[in-house]
Amino acid sequence: MKTLFLLIFTAALSHLCLAQKPYLPAADLPSRNLAMFGRGLYPGNDTTYNLLKKSGFNTLLLSSFYIHADGDLYSGDSHQPIIHNGKWVGDASYVIRVKNLKKKSSISRIEILLEGRWYGQPPNTFDFIRDWYDPSKKVPGIVTGISEQSTLYNICKVLKEVLGADAICIDDESVYDSPSIIAMGKIAASLNMHMTLCPFKGYAYWGDILKSSDTKVVDALYLQCYDGGIRNDIKDWVAALKPVQPIYPIFMVRGSFSTCNTYKGSKSVAEIKNQLHGFKSDYSKMSGAAIWQMQDLKQFVTMGCAIKEPASGSAKSVAEFLNQLQKTLKSEL
């Protein structure tokens, strides 16, 4: 009888251990974080991914992804769902490329950029996070709340399990509901993931999230220094938020918005170097910076900006452009 009980107990324990298999810990931030936002990488191609692996950049933020009203997650590159009915339905070759990113590579951390609506767009992502995080709310077809059965938890779980994502990055430019984003941080923590923030305005909103979040989970801010954030000065954000976490400025390259000219704060490599130097002087603890975005580097080369507009830069290949950018960021950090 004791033997039978022991066998049953052992089998039950084994089943429980399998069911509760811990998720692999997320990669921490590099001590000097050179980050690239990666729009245009879904599903991408091997050539581009290989360039990124050899680029010297160590964080890649895959972007942009949007939550729709039915609980599906969409790629902004293809406007097709990658998660449908709680399961991965996206491109298989993309999964292979992303999961291979850290192999023999400078890339050590992968983040997923969740983007929201801009002016005039229909509700998406952060509207639905706000509407769904509270378990007392009833939404047809959605499991509300942040439990393991919830729609929001499952989206993050699939990103963790299928793509090996280390973090989700919050690019909220319209809804600004801090309790729901704080709840997303709790989901990230339960999945052994990090969460980063990507502001361009709104000290109070982002400050609320920082005050109510575990600093080991919400571990960085990427500050937009272009377009709506064109006048952002990093010292102002440091003074307003007094964050324990590092703040990394994001620079937009020439080639953005399909023009070689400076537009909405896009900058040449030389101009990035100059602004970064000023930021470092004001914020001596600055330990990283980011570039928006891989698609624009390609545009710069495709449009022949180095020939058409010499003041915009000299890169005549994406590899050359990546090399110039990472050397410039490293030189000022």
Segment 317-321 mean pLDDT: 98
Segment 299-314 mean pLDDT: 98
Q: What's residue 85's pLDDT?
A: 94
Tens of pLDDT, residue by residue over 50-66, are: 999 999 999 999 999 99
Q: Do 293 and 38 meet the contact criterion of CB atoms below 8 Å apart?
A: yes
Q: What is the mean pLDDT of the chain?
A: 93
Q: In the chain, which ranges are E strands?
A: 33-37, 59-67, 73-75, 81-84, 87-88, 109-115, 167-171, 194-197, 218-224, 247-252, 288-292
The domain made up of 30-332 has a fold known as: TIM Barrel (3.20.20)
Asked whether the predicted pLDDT for residue 197 surpasses 70, the reply is yes
Q: What's residue 288's pLDDT?
A: 98
Asked whether the predicted pLDDT for residue 16 surpasses 60, the reply is no
Tens of pLDDT, residue by residue over 31-53, are: 999 999 999 999 999 999 999 99
Tens of pLDDT, residue by residue over 278-301, are: 999 999 999 999 999 999 999 999
Segment 1-16 mean pLDDT: 40
Asked whether the predicted pLDDT for residue 6 surpasses 60, the reply is no
Tens of pLDDT, residue by residue over 170-185, are: 999 999 999 999 999 9
Q: Do 240 and 205 meet the contact criterion of CB atoms below 8 Å apart?
A: no
Task: State the amino acid at position 33 in one-letter form.
Answer: N
Residues ≥6 apart with Cβ < 8 Å to 167: 26, 109, 110, 111, 112, 188, 193, 194, 195, 196, 219
Report the 10 Å Cβ neighbour count for 38: 28
Asked whether the predicted pLDDT for residue 211 surpasses 80, the reply is yes
The terminus-to-terminus CA distance of the chain in angstroms comes to 68
Q: What percent of the chain has pLDDT over 90?
A: 90
Burial of 134: CB neighbours in 10 Å, binned 0-12, 13-18, 19+:
middle
**Residue reference for tokens 């502001």:** 199
Tokens of 38: 């990666």
* Domain range summary for the chain, segments of one domain joined by +: 30-332
Please give the Cα distance from 100 to 94 (Å, whole number): 10
